[in-house]
Amino acid sequence: MTMAQHAGSCLCGAVTFEVHGGFERFFLCHCSRCRKDTGSAHAANLFSSTARLDWLSGQEKVRTYRLPQSRHARSFCSVCGSALPIVEEGFIVVPAGSLDSELAITPDAHIFAASRASWDRNLSGMAAFDALPP
């Protein structure tokens, strides 16, 4: 069996990384903190207690913000602000959108669904476009 390897980077390319190993969980988090972090309906984070994170370039540009008196933390590129992996006690959290390689897994669950934004409901019938609509 080969070990999974995933490549990732920030938007500006200043930070690059690899994750060696698999992910145990993939959650779409709707808590208000994750919505603030992403500016979107939810965060999409991969969790692993066994994978290893290697920074290939730009590690000095990685900043981490920890919300006081909580377990909430976010790592990001100090140049472009893109979300980046964070190493916590005993596990890593990787924003799915920061990966450049394809994932063979899909999300396990929506979490903190009670905090879901009111505009993030019943969207399956909405029009979809492959690019910016005319």
Four-way CATH pick for 5-115: 3.40.640.10, 2.170.150.70, 3.40.50.2000, 3.30.450.20 = 2.170.150.70
Domains of the chain by residue range: 5-115
Q: Where are the beta strands (DSSP E) in 1-134?
A: 5-9, 16-20, 25-29, 43-48, 52-57, 62-66, 73-77, 83-84, 86-88, 91-95, 109-111
Helix (H, G, I), strand (E, B) or coil at 58: coil
| pLDDT at site 85 | 97
Residue 94 pLDDT > 50: yes
What is the reported pLDDT for 1?
A: 39
pLDDT 10s digits, 11-22: 999 999 999 999
Global pTM reads 0.89
